Amino acid sequence: MVEVIASLSIGQVAERTGLSVHALRFYEQEGLFLNAVRRGPGGRRVYHQDDVDWLTVCIILRASGMPLTVLRRYTDLVREGAGNAEERLALMREHQKRVTAQIDRLTESLDLISFKVGVYEDLVGQGDAAEQCHGPSRA
């Protein structure tokens, strides 16, 4: 039995991924698809679910701050197939370090923001919202 693969238009892929049509064209131009984007009658782009699945991975990696150059390299490695798992692992470990450092910085920021919220909640509760507080030592 032959498996029939449903074709998707660029608009349908945009809707499923949350990327704009412009962003999808950009991803194609940057070589971020695992397979060349196919063309249908009239030259229109034709996508498949495997393209959507890969784009979902790309979207998550970009949202985590992965630079395009690194994402492009990762895409190249995946496209090459088996035999480069060590390089993929090294790439992901390095990105994991960047994301962990980013989380640490955000946690520090959240701690300060939470402190400020507490200070201002106290001030508002006391009816003295005009009081200024610039740092943790000025509670």
- The pLDDT tens digits of the residues spanning 84-105 come to 999 999 999 999 999 999 999 9
pLDDT above 60: residue 11 = yes
Q: How many CA atoms lie within 13 A of 45 on its CB side?
A: 20
Phi, psi angle pair for 38, to nearest 5° = -80, 160
The answer to whether the CB of 64 falls within 8 A of the CB of 99 is yes
- Please state, in angstroms and rounded to a whole number, the distance separating the CA atoms of residues 9 and 41: 12
Q: What pLDDT, on the 0 to 100 scale, is given for residue 4?
A: 54
In this structure, what token pair is assigned to residue 11? 């608009």
In 18-84, alpha helices (H): 21-29, 49-63, 68-80
The answer to whether the CB of 58 falls within 8 A of the CB of 48 is no
Share of the chain above pLDDT 90, in %: 82
Residue 131 pLDDT level (bands cut at 50, 70, 90): low
pLDDT above 70: residue 137 = no
- Please state, in angstroms and rounded to a whole number, the distance separating the CA atoms of residues 87 and 92: 9
